[in-house]
Amino acid sequence: MPELGLFPLPIVLVPTERIPLHIFESRYRELIDECIELGEEFGLVLATGDGAVHEVGTRARVVQVLEVLHDGSMNIVVEGGERFRLLDLTSGRAFTTGIVEPVLDDDEPALSADVERALEAFSELAEASESDVDVPDPVSPIFDFEVAARVDFATEGKQELLSMTSPRGRMAALVGLLEGALEAVRLELTLRERASRNGKVAPLDPEG
């Protein structure tokens, strides 16, 4: 089984998602430099804060080097690829490494009704938040991750989606996250509108 260089961080990267990273520790500069030179991927795993990492992470590749600073640190953009399961941590390098295997989905396709609900909720969320974001193709085999890559979900919710191997369960969970995010955005807009009218926040009408 292949060994993979790991980068534990307090964030979750899902497939197709692009995020910026600031690399400053020498051991992880070594990892990123090696990945850039050899065209290889590294594994981004969610760190729990007590030195442990989650079992399921995402392969990441460097798609852009934004800046290399005078002290050797760098700003880069990485893109999420396939998911992996961490089987065992290994040693011998300056950075963290581990033995990994691919995470494979069960043969349980998402319900078409949930796909439609996810598409509708995502579109409404983008409109409510006035976000200029493209809408993923619902027939894509990774539609769920493409949607998750475009929404700023809480870390716990993203890790749950990443770890699930049931496409049906993952789509249902995604719908729940999207509808929760949409409700939060609408509530914020309502409070903002009421506050702008008289400088005070009025209690919400439970009937309306």
Give pLDDT, residue 50.
Answer: 78
Residue bearing the bigger pLDDT, 188 or 110: 110
What average pLDDT score do residues 62-90 get? Answer: 96
Residue 4 clears pLDDT 60, i.e. is over it: yes
Give pLDDT, residue 203.
Answer: 53
What average pLDDT score do residues 65-83 get? Answer: 97
List pLDDT tens digits, range 110-166.
999 999 999 999 999 999 988 889 999 999 999 999 999 999 999 999 999 999 999
* pLDDT > 70 fraction of the chain, expressed in percent and rounded: 93
Give pLDDT, residue 130.
Answer: 87
pLDDT band at 205 (very low <50, low <70, confident <90, very high): low
The conformation of residue 60, written as its DSSP 8-state character, comes to E
CA separation, residue 151 to residues 34, 58, 178 (Å): 31, 17, 8
Give pLDDT, residue 197.
Answer: 66
Residue 208 clears pLDDT 70, i.e. is over it: no
Q: How far apart are CA 105 and CA 170, in angstroms?
A: 10
137 φ, ψ (degrees, to nearest 5): -75, 120
Q: How far apart are CA 161 and CA 53, in angstroms?
A: 16
pLDDT band at 2 (very low <50, low <70, confident <90, very high): confident
What average pLDDT score do residues 87-104 get? Answer: 95
What average pLDDT score do residues 45-72 get? Answer: 93
Q: How far apart are CA 11 and CA 155, in angstroms?
A: 6
Residue type, 135: V
Give pLDDT, residue 53.
Answer: 92
Nearest to 48 by CA among 149, 197, 156: 156
In order of start, what are the domains of the chain with their CATH numbers? 3-102 (2.30.130.40), 112-198 (no CATH)
Q: How far apart are CA 111 and CA 69, in angstroms?
A: 48
Cα-only R_g, the chain: 20
How many separate helices (H) and strands (E) can be counted in the chain?
5, 6
